[in-house]
Structure 1
Amino acid sequence: MSATRNKDIRYEVIRSRRATADIVIERDGRVLVRAPESIPDERIEDLVEAKRYWIYKNLAEWRDLNATRVLREYRNGEGFLYLGRSYRLLLVADQEEPLLLKNGRFCLRRDLADRGEIEAAKAAFRNYHIARGSERIRQRVDYYAPKIGVTPRDINVRELGNRWASCSPNGSLAFHWKCMMAPQTIIDYIVVHELCHFHHLDHTDAFWNEVDKVMPTYGERKEWLRVHGAGLDV
């Protein structure tokens, strides 16, 4: 839904079984209003109007952060992230796997880069991170879930568009494959964040208190992701 009274602020509304409404700026700069199913459109417009300054301020900050987005090229020596470290790219011919991390370098099969089709090279990185993330992130979920007192139904790593992770009403967790580019401490924060949503769907004080119980330093990790998240890309 687009705003009517707030014509200068474009936003979308996602309704779900939640108690309160809030506004978030997505990673692609979209303004998203997450609202209870029963709340009328007029109340949502009132909320957007009341948060007008906050929305402008955060959109300006989003533009500043994304102005420094790294545009990587698939050529020898380019740096690509994995678990918070940058590894130089090496194009190789004698390799069956599309992408390997060995001897301190990301080894990409040369034919994927020589085609000039960026999507083929990107797919190699995406599939690599999904394969490694499926094991590592599951381990971290298994570690933190008992501390939070929850039992996820399913865990998968995949493309999630502009979300780092999601928690479905049926207890399934999904994580963006790009999480694997962040340091382990940040991955842990994303895991804890989603697990705490089993108790609280909203980002209320009760939710953040739940996060704080398990991860008192979550604020620093949340801030790191806000500042550096745009650079986690291939």
Structure 2
Amino acid sequence: MRPEHRDRTRTRRQRRTEDLGLQPALTSLRAGLTGPSAPAKHHEKDASAVTYKTERAITVGDITISVRTSDCTTLDLDVSTTGQVIVRGPRHTTEAQATGLVQRRRRWIYQQLARIAATTPNNPIKFLDTGEVFAVLGRPHRLRIVPDAEQTEPITRHQHPEMGDWLHMRHATVTNLHIARRTLINFYAKTAEDWLKIIRPRIAAFTSKTEIPLTSSTRLRTTRAHYHPTRGLTLHWATAQLDEPTLHELIHRALKLHTVTDTRQLDHALRNLWLGNLSTPSKHLLGKQPSSDSTCPDGSAPPTETALSFEHVHVKPVHTGTVAPSHRKATER
């Protein structure tokens, strides 16, 4: 709309109001609502409307409680997956109220803490040094740091009936802790997928689908085995450390089939899996590469190419599906 048209419209409206005699009434009505000389209002924040969140720690018996207050209206009690006991309540929650709730729910709190302690992985530490033992499908494999010129793959697996099983890792891989961890995780994931391909007919016999997807997960925060009707069966990479009977039992649990072994034994094996916690390599490994004629810590000669049957594993990232979380937070109201 053109400016002159807007001015002409406003003048026409004012003229119509004056002709009808409504201007005095409108003026008095406007003065009664806002006042004849009402100053401009400045909208300030009301302090009572601001949400304040506080957190303090109290001790009830032998339990340390974290009391968190906010604008909520109810008082509840949580036990996190890390074993922290949390009381949530309104801003005016007192220590006596929080203590009373904890004392009333003391038995439930101890039950949740016992469940978390029984299901939390031990997460052992592995050392990147020659002689460290890594389990592969239930068989112990000793680690050997080899010169870079001896092999091109980051890690290779060697099996011999008399000299035992070995994992050979290049020196360049060991010097970087992140690369060494990722190399071992991908190696276990590849081992798990190869094992799943071997037992695919047995898994298909337990399900209604013949072409069930079988994958392994390289995520650390996942369940050890998960079955989805469309995404198939997924194993955590760390399960490749278990022996085959335990893996079969784990798959039975994921498929909700009958169990033939003690479930406590399976839970104990799952809690003691190595989950990728590596220590810093030794300083002498970072300085120079080991020679091909170096001996092992137990004094035995290192395995040779002519004495061993090699299984070369080319490590690649493994794409996985979605896997459910391992623990859920317990809540009591």
What TM-score results when the alignment is normalised by the length of structure 2?
0.46
Alpha-carbon separation, structure 1, partners of 2:118 and 2:239: 22
SS in structure 2 at match of 1:91: strand
Q: Is the 8 A contact 1:140 1:188 kept in 2?
A: no
Check if 1:102 corresponds to 2:158: yes
Distance 1:192 1:137, change over 3 A: same
In the other structure, the counterpart of 2:80 is 10
Aligned length: 174
SS in structure 2 at match of 1:72: coil
Alpha-carbon separation, structure 2, partners of 1:8 and 1:29: 10
Superposition map of 1:43-82 within 5 A: 52-62=109-119, 66=122, 69-82=123-136
Structure 2 residue ranges without an equivalent (≥5): 1-73, 85-104, 160-164, 277-333
SS in structure 2 at match of 1:167: strand
Q: Stretches of 4+ moved more than 4 A in 1?
A: 49-53
Deviations 1:68-98 (A, max 9, x none): x421011111111111122111001211111
Alpha-carbon separation, structure 2, partners of 1:105 and 1:113: 16
In the other structure, the counterpart of 2:197 is 138
SS in structure 2 at match of 1:54: helix
Alpha-carbon separation, structure 2, partners of 1:230 and 1:193: 16
Alpha-carbon separation, structure 1, partners of 2:201 and 2:76: 44
Superposition map of 1:71-220 within 5 A: 71-93=125-147, 94-103=150-159, 104-114=165-175, 117-146=176-205, 148-151=206-209, 153-160=212-219, 161-196=221-256, 211-212=257-258, 215-217=259-261, 220=262
Distance 1:110 1:175, change over 3 A: same
Q: Among all aligned residue pairs of Structure 1 and Structure 2, give the percentage whose two residues are the same amino acid.
A: 18
TM-superposed CA distance for 1:5, in Å, is: 4.7
Alpha-carbon separation, structure 1, partners of 2:250 and 2:76: 32
What TM-score results when the alignment is normalised by the length of structure 1?
0.64
- RMSD across aligned C-alpha pairs, in angstroms? 2.9
Higher helix share: 1
TM-superposed CA distance for 1:169, in Å, is: 4.1
| Larger radius of gyration between Structure 1 and Structure 2 | 2
TM-superposed CA distance for 1:131, in Å, is: 1.8
Deviations 1:146-172 (A, max 9, x none): 1x3432631111224231021224252
